[in-house]
Amino acid sequence: MIGLIAVIVGSAIILAWGAAHIVPVRSVVKGFGEISSDNRRIITMEWISEGLTLCFIGVLVLLVCLWAGANHPASILVYRSSAVMLLVMAGLTLFTGAKTSMAPIKICPIVKTTAAALLLVGSIA
């Protein structure tokens, strides 16, 4: 039961964090000031891509958990591989984006690592 709760909470956190990336895209891009159209498009694309990736991870974990069962070997594989991807993304953010002055980007590695930890707990509990 603890494992199931950890998986659901971890996937909900990362799904919400992904949505939180997508919603403010316009204001985030404006925050960069006067930049070229190409740079504006690239920032928009990358910001939305990360949000969609995080949403996908959250939805995938939930769907596999609900469809195959929380303790099915395929579910455990999805939990663990998703946790690894979140840790990779957290590392990337830690060494790049977290060095900016933007508070949400500074806490992003913490959110991703927390969700990854919950998925790992869910895969062993």
Q: Please tell me the distance from the alpha carbon of residue 112 to that of residue 91, in angstroms, as a whole number.
A: 9
The pLDDT of residue 16 is above 80: yes
> Angle, nearest 10°, between helix axes 2-22 and 37-68?
160
Give this prediction's pTM.
Answer: 0.90
121 or 100: whose pLDDT is higher? 121
The pLDDT of residue 98 is above 80: no
- Write down the pLDDT at residue 99: 75
The beta strands (E) that lie in the chain are given as none
- Write down the pLDDT at residue 97: 79
- Write down the pLDDT at residue 82: 98
Quickly count: other Cβ atoms within 10 Å of residue 42's Cβ: 13
Average pLDDT of the chain to the nearest whole number: 93
Q: Please tell me the distance from the alpha carbon of residue 80 to that of residue 114, in angstroms, as a whole number.
A: 13
Q: Please tell me the distance from the alpha carbon of residue 23 to that of residue 111, in angstroms, as a whole number.
A: 17
